[in-house]
């Protein structure tokens, strides 16, 4: 086996032990998804760990899976310099504040910094002054989102939620939900919850009312929040069926479009000699399309659909008549 493959497998074996130490019990399929290998590879790794004397074992039936003896603990204090850097280049202060963990995160970094070997201390400050990752969007609410605390409690306690929710089309519905987890994308919080046996995504800001129920639910053993979210993103982009329209605009406006619509357009015709180009756009609604067109001003021509041209003309007349 080449040296690189040996190193990769050694890292994977350590990762299996650490995952089981943290999560107590995982199926071979869940470990395979987490480590991006096949279940068969996981089973071979588990056998290798067992032969090496690690108290790891597999059990079948409901609630079964791969487990590590709960009395066994591994301590990895030999973090290298690059691994240490990863803790100090990102700031999630606002998001952690939203869920009541800002002070804990700050204290954890202080403790970690104090525990880092002395010869790594200068490199920590070096990285802090050269790389900073800000996960928030430019504009975001600084006040806590309504119901986020109650939803977080329901997630922690596996309690059913009764929610009144405004869907994207403006319709209002009441749901009984099994809240599985919270996800922050940029500065927006989402709830992953099961309803009618299906996991669904809800934007926290669209809840009109939340009530915690006294009943509890049993979480699926093979659910992994990060894996589910990535699958959701892939499905969302693959099935997105929002509002499509085509514009012709001057190339001087391309930087504005890139800032306002990143990843939401494709160039159909590159810039001609007169500097005009054509692109197809994708937004959630005709209202957002109108906002883009008004922002482009006199340097845009609506190619299609005709209903968008009519809607922009009507909106312009309404503005002028006020």
Q: How much is the average pLDDT of 299-322?
A: 91
Q: Is the peptide bond before 305 cis (omega within 30 degrees of 0)?
A: yes
Local confidence band at 176 (pLDDT 50, 70, 90 cut-offs): very high
Q: Which of residues 81 and 241 earns the better pLDDT score?
A: 81
Confidence bin at 25 (pLDDT 50/70/90): confident
How many other CB atoms are found less than 10 A from the CB of residue 151? 25
Phi first, then psi: what are they for 209, rounded to 5°?
Answer: -160, 145
Percent of the chain with pLDDT over 70: 91
Q: Round the average pLDDT of the chain to a whole number and report it.
A: 85
Evaluate if pTM is beyond 0.85. Answer: no
The residue among 177, 178, 175 whose CA lies nearest residue 219 is: 178
| The CATH fold of domain 243-320 | Alpha-Beta Plaits (3.30.70)
Shortest CA distance to 179 belongs to which of 206, 151, 207?
Answer: 151
- pLDDT tens for each residue of 45-72: 988 888 888 888 887 777 678 888 877 7
Using one digit for the tens of pLDDT, what is the confidence trace for 75-128? 555 667 787 777 777 777 778 888 888 888 888 777 777 777 777 778 888 888
Contact assessment for residue 189 and residue 98, using Cβ atoms and an 8 Å cutoff:
yes
Indicate whether 238 pLDDT > 80.
no
Residue 178 has a CB neighbour count (10 Å cut-off) of 22
Contacts with 134 (C-beta within 8 Å, 6 or more apart), sequence order: 91
Query: 147 with 207: CB under 8 angstroms?
Result: yes
148-239 to CATH, choices 1.20.1260, 2.20.28, 2.30.30, 3.30.70: 2.30.30
Residue 153 pLDDT > 50, yes or no? Answer: yes
User: Which stretches does DSSP call E strand in 113-170?
Assistant: 159-166
For residue 10 the two structure tokens come to 């050694």
Indicate where the chain has its CATH 1.10.10.10 domain(s).
3-68
Q: Using DSSP bridges, classify how beta strands 300-304 and 265-269 pair: parallel, antiparallel or unpaired.
A: unpaired
The DSSP 8-state label assigned to residue 133 in this structure reads B
The reported pLDDT for the residue numbered 3 is 43
Half-sphere exposure of 245 (CA within 13 A, CB side): 27
CATH 2.30.30 residue ranges in the chain? 148-239
- Domain 3-68 fold is Arc Repressor Mutant, subunit A (1.10.10)
Burial class (CB in 10 A: 0-12, 13-18, 19+), 68: buried
Q: How confident is the model at residue 22 (pLDDT cuts 50, 70, 90)?
A: confident
């Amino acid at each position: 086996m080449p040296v690189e493959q040996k190193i990769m497998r050694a890292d994977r074996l350590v990762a299996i032990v650490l995952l089981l130490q943290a999560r107590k019990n995982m199926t071979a399929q869940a470990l395979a998804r987490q480590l991006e290998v096949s279940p068969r590879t996981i089973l071979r790794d588990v056998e290798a760990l067992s032969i090496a004397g690690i108290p790891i074992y597999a059990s079948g039936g409901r609630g079964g899976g791969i487990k590590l003896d709960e009395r066994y603990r591994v301590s990895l204090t030999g973090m290298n310099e690059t691994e240490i850097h990863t803790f100090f280049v990102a700031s999630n202060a606002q998001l952690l504040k939203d869920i009541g963990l800002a002070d804990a995160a700050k204290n954890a970094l202080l403790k970690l910094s104090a525990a880092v070997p002395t010869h790594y201390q200068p490199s920590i400050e070096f990285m802090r002054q050269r790389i900073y990752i800000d996960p928030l969007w430019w504009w975001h609410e600084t006040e806590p989102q309504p119901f986020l605390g109650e939803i977080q409690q329901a997630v922690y306690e596996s309690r059913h939620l009764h929610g009144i929710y405004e869907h994207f089309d403006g319709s209002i519905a009441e749901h009984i939900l099994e809240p599985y987890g919270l996800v922050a994308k940029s500065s927006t919080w989402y709830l992953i919850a099961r309803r009618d046996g299906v996991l669904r995504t809800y934007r926290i800001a669209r809840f009109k009312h939340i009530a915690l129920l006294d009943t509890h639910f049993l979480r699926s053993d093979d659910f992994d929040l990060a894996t589910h979210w990535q699958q959701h993103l892939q499905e969302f982009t693959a099935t997105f069926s929002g509002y499509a329209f085509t514009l012709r605009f001057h190339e001087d406006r391309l930087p504005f479009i890139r800032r306002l619509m990143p990843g939401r357009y494709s160039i159909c015709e590159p810039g001609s000699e007169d500097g005009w180009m054509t692109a197809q756009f994708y937004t959630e609604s005709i209202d957002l399309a109108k906002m883009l067109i008004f922002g482009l001003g006199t340097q845009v021509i609506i190619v299609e659909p005709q209903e968008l041209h009519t809607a922009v003309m009507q909106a312009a007349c309404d503005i002028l008549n006020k």
